[in-house]
């Protein structure tokens, strides 16, 4: 049975200064595969080929075929009870900075309003030539690799390994971590930086840091409290369910 510390119960009930960081495990119960672990993408696929700027330069069609399939899978997924719990909690608290490494857009689909997407969004495309970013939700894409109206090659508007995160989003995420009283780290293996450094930023600034994850991670022994369970079960129990 899951139990919460008195401190956590009080902070969650107060609902001020709560900040959330999510990773792929947040969407696992929506049917979106994670990256690591036995069924994770990076067990079967090559990070170098599919998630680096040099992999894309080498073979854009290969990268786009993989993203096209992921877009199709994600388009069929719906927010789970965890996403909905966070959105309902935000509506009650008024403000809930929600930093996510996920590119699936499921937090916004659940109704969360202050979503800080550190790694971009799979339903946006960006022109390699003129830098224009546009939303494109078509699945499948009619042409692979897709091209911009300027003739440039389009790429997914996501952050790949070897690339820097969008500076303004990272600044806002860091500022939120620095001002947090309660920092919830949900469904991330905590190995990809700089996102994995945010719990330490929050902890150093005095936040109560809580990990929600069914598995142990490198962060587990550095946090104030660990809730071993799935996001879609733990969050409604901690923050309340969707109305
Ligand atoms: P990972 O796949 O590395 O980790 C997923 C975590 O979710 C693991 O620690 C699991 O134990 C946990 N998990 C699984 N099911 C869960 C559930 N139902 N509830 C809660 N937790 C669960 O995913 P991330 O940490 O998000 O980057 O990976 C970070 C980044 O690496 C991703 O954003 C992506 C990837 O390569 C880029 O594409 C740039």
Residue 214 near ligand 1, beta carbon < 6 Å: yes
Domains of the chain, start order: 6-239 (3.40.50.1220)
**Which atom of ligand 1 is nearest the CA belonging to 212?**
20
- DSSP category for residue 129: T
The pLDDT, as a whole number, for residue 242 is: 82
End-to-end CA distance of the chain: 24
- The CA–CA distances, whole Å, from 232 to 16, 79, 166, 170, 236 equal 22, 10, 28, 26, 7
The pLDDT, as a whole number, for residue 44 is: 82
Q: How far is the CA of 91 from the centre of ligand 1 (A)?
A: 26
Q: Phi and psi dihedrals of 165, rounded to 5?
A: -75, 155
DSSP string across 177-195: HHT-SEEEEES--S-STTG
The pLDDT, as a whole number, for residue 205 is: 97
Strands 133-135 and 182-186: unpaired
- Strand, helix or coil for residue 243: coil
List the residue whose alpha carbon is closest to atom 22 of ligand 1.
25
- Strand, helix or coil for residue 99: strand
Q: How far is the CA of 65 from the centre of ligand 1 (A)?
A: 22
**Which atom of ligand 1 is nearest the CA belonging to 217?**
9
Q: How far is the CA of 140 from the centre of ligand 1 (A)?
A: 25
Residue 23 near ligand 1, beta carbon < 6 Å: yes
Distance CA 81, CA 104 (A): 16
Q: How far is the CA of 95 from the centre of ligand 1 (A)?
A: 25
Q: Tell me which residues are annotated as active site.
A: 119
Mutate to test the pocket of ligand 1, among 85, 192, 198 (most ligand atoms within 8 A of CB): 192
- pTM, to two decimals: 0.97
Phi-psi map region of 189: left, alpha, beta (phi>0 left; psi -120 to 50 alpha) = alpha
Vertex 211 angle, CA 208 and 215, to 5°: 160
Residue 192 near ligand 1, beta carbon < 6 Å: yes
Reading the chain (243 residues) residue by residue, the pLDDT tens digits are: 789 999 999 999 999 999 999 999 999 999 999 998 877 887 888 889 999 999 999 999 999 999 999 999 999 999 999 999 999 999 999 999 999 999 999 999 999 999 999 999 999 999 999 999 999 999 999 999 999 999 999 999 999 999 999 999 999 999 999 999 999 999 999 999 999 999 999 999 999 999 999 999 999 999 999 999 999 999 999 999 887
Rg over alpha carbons for the chain, rounded to the nearest Å, is 18
């Amino acid at each position: 049975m899951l139990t919460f510390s008195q401190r956590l119960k009080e902070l969650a009930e107060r609902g001020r200064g709560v900040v959330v960081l999510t990773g792929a495990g947040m969407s696992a119960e929506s049917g979106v595969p994670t990256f690591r672990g036995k069924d994770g993408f990076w067990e079967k696929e090559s990070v170098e080929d599919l998630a680096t700027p040099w992999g894309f330069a080498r073979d854009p069609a290969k990268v786009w075929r993989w993203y096209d399939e992921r877009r199709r899978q994600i388009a069929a997924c719906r927010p789970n009870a965890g996403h909905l719990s966070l959105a309902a909690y935000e509506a009650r608290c008024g403000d809930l900075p929600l930093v996510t490494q996920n590119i699936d857009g499921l937090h916004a689909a659940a109704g969360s309003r202050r979503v800080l997407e550190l790694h971009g969004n799979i339903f946006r495309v960006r022109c390699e030539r003129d830098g224009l970013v546009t939303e494109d939700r078509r699945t499948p894409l009619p042409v692979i690799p897709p091209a911009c109206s300027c003739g440039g090659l389009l790429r997914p508007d996501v952050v790949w390994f070897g690339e820097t995160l969008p500076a303004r989003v990272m600044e806002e995420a860091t500022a939120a971590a620095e001002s947090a009283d309660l920092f919830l780290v949900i469904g991330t293996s905590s190995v990809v930086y700089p996102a994995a450094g945010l719990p330490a930023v929050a902890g150093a600034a005095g936040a109560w840091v809580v990990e929600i994850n069914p598995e142990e991670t490198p962060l587990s022994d550095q946090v104030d409290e660990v809730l071993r369970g799935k996001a879609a079960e733990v969050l409604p129990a901690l923050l309340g369910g969707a109305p």
